[in-house]
Structure 1
Amino acid sequence: MKPGLRALTVGFLAAFLIATAGTGIALHMVTLGTIARLVDRRIENVSAIVGRDPRATVVLARIAALSQRRDTGDIGFLLADAHGRRLGGNIDVRRRFAPGYAEVRSRDRIAGLSAGRAYTRRIGGDLTLTTIAETEPFDGYRAARLRIYLFGFGSIVLIVLGGLVVFAVTIARRFAETRCTVDAIVAGDMRRRVPVIGTDDEFDRHAIAFNRMLDQIAGLMDGLRNVSNDVAHDLRTPLARLRARLAAIATRSDDADIAAAIEDCDRILAMFAAMLRIAEVEAGLRVAGFVPFDLAVVASDVCEALAPVAEDGDRTLRWRLGNPLPMRGDPRLVEQMLVNAIENALRHTPPGTTIWVEGMATGDRAVLAVRDDGPGIPADQHALVLRRFGRLEASRNRPGHGLGLPLVAAIVRLHGGTLALEDGEPGLTLRLAFPA
């Protein structure tokens, strides 16, 4: 699974913070280690000079001489006997240092020294010489150096965090614009485009390319829609005339073939009417007339009107729509949508089938479910029946033109809703959800 933008941003930020903190700590430790090694080398060399002659008087004389010199005046010396008693030097240390190198801290209470290094060794004649030098040029230098590191690396972290915030806000805003455009197009507004700011950056070039693709798709869809609409318009009039002539002939004859021809004309005219209706809905021409209404009331009226039709076909229509389902839209279109959904169930289920219409409020959605206990539709055929002229029967011998559910889907999209086909186990469930 590929990581998303948020995961990549968090991962980059975590890696950067770890790298920055690691670099700061490493630099701090390396600096301390380098200073300690240089001081150790210095006090070891000075200790060798002072302890060349292990006689106490000579050592104390050299300590006095080095204490007066400019380059060694900051070094402390302590000469002690085998029992640790102080014999002389320019400092006084309360604790006894073990042979070798050691850290010196402010708790050792050496005047003028807050941090340093000590080198202790035996110089002969049971004498022990301790040499001490500072590792900080002034008091509180380590804390000041730590503050410098924190300020320097902290500034880098703040700059990167600020950049990431600006980057994230910019990305989120431009992605939101693209997402809103996609949502508007899915809802039926094919004229919506991604805003182009005019900065000629990558986002603008992406928006221009995206809009150019939408223009091409819209042009192709308009061409297909115009062809089907023109065919429907051009053929509807001559078919209506043909039906009128057949009806006139039928008044003078009771020929069954003429009656069958009239029924065929009615089916073709109904198909063309459905095609034009879908085109009107998909064009979004009815959005300006949207008003608030109760979906439960409209659904109840439709169910009451179709219940006798279902009974005539030896089917049962039941509904449960007690609670209000407020929504905004075109009540007449929603009524036609429900009629198509219920008639689809009546037409494609065997006698004895029961159809239920139920309403419910789910969060901020008004939901209608039209379900039956008929044979249902295989899951891999759901997309087919929502397509124009899509029919499960390849031979197309049964009545119908495959435009009922596509009209339902077009009306649902116009209202910003969703249509889902679900397996009713048995039967089929059409779940229609609209913004409340």
Structure 2
Amino acid sequence: MALRTLTILFLLVFGAATLITGLATYSASSQALERLVDRRIADVSSAVLSQASPGDKASILALIDTFSRQRASGDVGFELEDAAGRRLGGNVTLARPVPMGFSTLHPGDRIAGLSSGRAEMRDAGGGLRLITIIETEPIDGFTRVQWRNYLLGFGSIAAIVLAGTAIFGILVRHRITDVRRTAEAIIDGDMKRRVPRSGDGGVFDAQAAAFNRMLDRIESLLESVRNVSSDVAHDLRTPLARLRGRLQRIAGAPLADDAAIELDAAVEQCDEILAIFAAILRIAELEGNERRKAFARVDLAEIAAGVIAALSPAASESGHVLIHDGLSSVIVDGDGASITQAVFNLVENALRHTPAGTAIIVSAGQATGTATLAVRDHGPGITHADMATALRRFGRINPSRSAPGHGLGLPLVEAVARLHRGALTLANANPGLLAMLNLPLRAEGGPAT
């Protein structure tokens, strides 16, 4: 789940919890106030009726009048009704009948000076009923004050949480951005890049330190593998070259026909092994990214046209048809020699693995921000499952294992693509295979990088 989604979900849950808590607190305080008022109503009603005989209308009205004159009873009202609900007297007049027991009054009841209150109707004996009313808003605008206090209190909490969430989100996003940029630099070939540390000793700093130690270990392992490959290639090339020279000198002497044939085959095998070592060293050189320092303006269309011109005789001899298509000027920043080698490999790969009469089309074009140099053939192609094998070093799919080659052609092209911050993709051409070298397009007027 995305960080933004988690943040929004947290804020929604927090907002709902804050709203529910505020409403519950307001409701609890209102109910507590109502219980206090109800208790006072009960005490006042009992005090009035305890001093009068049950059903004694005159006595009850006199006690109401006496109680109403007291200074502390300014928020208390009375009304005496008969069994039919007719008003017999009191200091207030109700606009609607109220039920027996306790009930709530509102401004709509049109009682002068009353914004909200509670009422109790109880039996006064002899068919009489006494209604006692007390205001539940002790001061003017009490309800508004309550709401204002709750909004300010819970609003402040919500504002603090929102600000804290925003700050936390910024910090987390900053740390994640640091990790992402480091990962992108590593992918781009900068194995020395590390996640920056703040030095505060916090959990993020500890995470950055652990991540950097992991990168140090990975760099060490990759360097060891690279050194082994390069050292083996370097150390074996010299004795193999000497062996090849000796075999050629022997082949130059008078020999039987069978021996001469065997010697020629041995020389060819030496050449193939030397080519493998040369390809390994070439890939290691490309992965070092040192060539980026010498990047310059390169036209893919010119490179493709040069490769077509160079390989057209070989294509004619093998019975293939080499076609150029859409070779408009496509400018990139790059190393012309390595891109040329990559295109040679793609075309030679198509010539080697397709039957005579197959058309091979080379094209150069561009889309938004991307330059593409594509080699498409109409041969048998390869399955989607075999494409990953074809891109692996020394990876050769079963139908091609008997054919010449060492399985380093496409990996070298892929190394060229990575050097240029691009990618090599294989796709089904229906029929045949489509190999696309995708490179970043040179920005208009931009410097070589």
Q: Mark yes or no: TM-score above 0.5.
A: yes
What is the CA-CA distance between 1:94 and the residue it aligns to?
A: 4.3
Q: Say which of 27, 43, 46 aligns to 2:44.
A: 46
Following TM superposition, by how much is the alpha carbon of 1:90 offset from its aligned partner in structure 2, in angstroms?
A: 2.9
Equivalent residue, structure 2, for 1:106: 107
Q: CA deviation at 1:286?
A: 0.6
| Cα contact 2:304–2:327 (8 A) shared by 1 | no
Which sits farther off after the overlay, 44-53 or 76-85?
76-85
Alignment partner, residue 187 of structure 1: 188
SS of residue paired to 1:371? strand
Rounded to whole Å, the distance in 2 between the matches of 1:304 and 1:63 is 120
Does the 8 A contact of 1:300 with 1:321 survive in 2?
no
**Residues of 1 paired with 2:294 and 2:337: CA distance?**
11
Superposition deviation, residue 229 in structure 1: 0.8
Matches within 5 A, 1:327-366: 327-366=332-371
TM-score by length of 1: 0.89
CA RMSD, Structure 1 to Structure 2 (Å):
2.8
Identity of aligned residues (%): 49
Partner of 2:169: 168
CA pair 300-28 structure 1, distance change in 2 beyond 3 A: farther
Query: 1:113–1:139: 8 Å Cα contact kept in structure 2?
Result: no
Is 1:77–1:90's contact at 8 Å kept on the other side of the alignment? yes
CA distance in 1, matches of 2:420, 2:162: 42
Gaps of 5+ in 2: 442-449
Matched AA of 2:285:
E
Closer, same or farther in 2 for the Cα pair 1:64/1:336, shift >3 Å?
same
1:103–1:118: 8 Å Cα contact kept in structure 2?
yes
Q: What do the CA deviations read for 1:227-276 (whole angstroms, capped 9, x no partner)?
A: 21112222223333444444455555583444333333322222222111
8 Å Cα contact 2:425/2:435 also seen in 1: yes
Alpha-carbon contact 2:41-2:120 (below 8 Å) kept: yes
Q: Which moved more, 1:123-132 or 1:175-184?
A: 123-132
Question: Is contact 1:197-1:204 (8 Å) kept?
Answer: yes
Which amino acid counterpart does residue 387 of structure 1 have in structure 2?
R
CA pair 55-253 structure 1, distance change in 2 beyond 3 A: farther
1:22 to 20, 38, 62: 20
1:70 offset after TM fit, Å? 5.5
Please name the residue that 2:265 is paired with.
Answer: 260
What CA distance in whole angstroms lies between the structure 1 residues aligned with 2:302 and 2:158?
60
Q: What amino acid does structure 1 have at the position aligned with 2:24?
A: A
Contact 1:388 1:403 in 2 (8 A): yes
Unpaired runs of 5+ residues, structure 1, are none
- Shift, 1:408, TM fit: 0.8
> In the superposition, relative to structure 1, how do residues 6 and 100 fare at CA in structure 2: closer, same or farther (>3 Å)?
same
Q: What secondary structure does 2:407 align onto?
A: coil
Contact 1:187 1:415 in 2 (8 A): no
Q: 1:427 aligns with which of 432, 444, 447?
A: 432
User: Equivalents in 2 of 1:167, 1:322: separation in Å?
Assistant: 52
In 1, distance between residues paired with 2:197 and 2:66?
81
- What is the DSSP-based 3-state SS (H/G/I as helix, E as strand, rest coil) of the residue aligned with 2:290? coil
Shift of the 350–122 alpha-carbon distance from structure 1 to 2, 3 Å rule, reads same
Amino acid at match of 1:19: A
The 1:81/1:397 distance shift into structure 2, 3 A limit, reads: closer
**How many residue pairs end up in the alignment?**
434
Q: Give the corresponding residue for 1:234.
A: 235
Instruction: Select the residue among 313, 316, 322 that pairs with 1:311.
Output: 316
Using structure 2 for the length normalisation, give the TM-score. Answer: 0.87
CA distance in 2, matches of 1:324, 1:121: 101
Cα 1:229–1:34 shift into 2, 3 Å: same
Name the counterpart of 2:218: 217
Does the CA-based 8 Å contact 2:390-2:397 persist in structure 1? Answer: yes
Distance 2:169 2:424 in 1: 34
